[in-house]
A = this chain, B = another copy of it.
């Protein structure tokens, strides 16, 4: 059960977009270069973010993406679900229905305890992700990333932002 690498890519891209000067856009090409990723495939992840309304896009030279909301109002969960989907990680194939002791036409009432427990764990995972915003991430990164690298990266991004 491994998250797709697009989740990591999307989180990194959102972190960069969150540091963009107000109103500017950053293109797929720039984001791909900055992270050393295949442009065409990264594009799919960005399209997922766009479909989820987390980012806005514009066309043409100086086009690209920007956050559709303040970074404080975009959570990790938003990004993860945009890429990975909202489905729960445990899917019940209802194998209890195969129990040979069941009377004919027996019908279960709702999900069983096993599924409920697995889903509670899933909910705990999502709650944790919901509790962290991109703004909080940026704040942590700013403290942790060496100042020289932080500054040069910021300038690189501004140079490429249309």
Contacts and interface: CB of A to CB of B under 8 A. Distances in A.
Interface string A109-143: 00011100110111011111100100001001100
Interface in A78-103: 84, 87, 89-93, 95-103
Number of copies: 2
B99 A144 contact: no
Contacts of A9: 95
Interface stretch (A21-29, A50-58, A61-69, A148-156): A148-156
Contact of A149 (B102, B113, B126, B132): B102
A12 interface: yes
Nearest to A130: B121
A96 B127 contact: no
B7 A90 contact: yes
A129 B121 contact: yes
A42 to B, nearest CB: 10
A76 B117 contact: yes
Interface of A: 1-5, 7-9, 11-12, 15, 33-37, 76, 84, 87, 89-93, 95-103, 106, 112-114, 117-118, 120-122, 124-129, 132, 137, 140-141, 144, 148-149, 152-153, 156
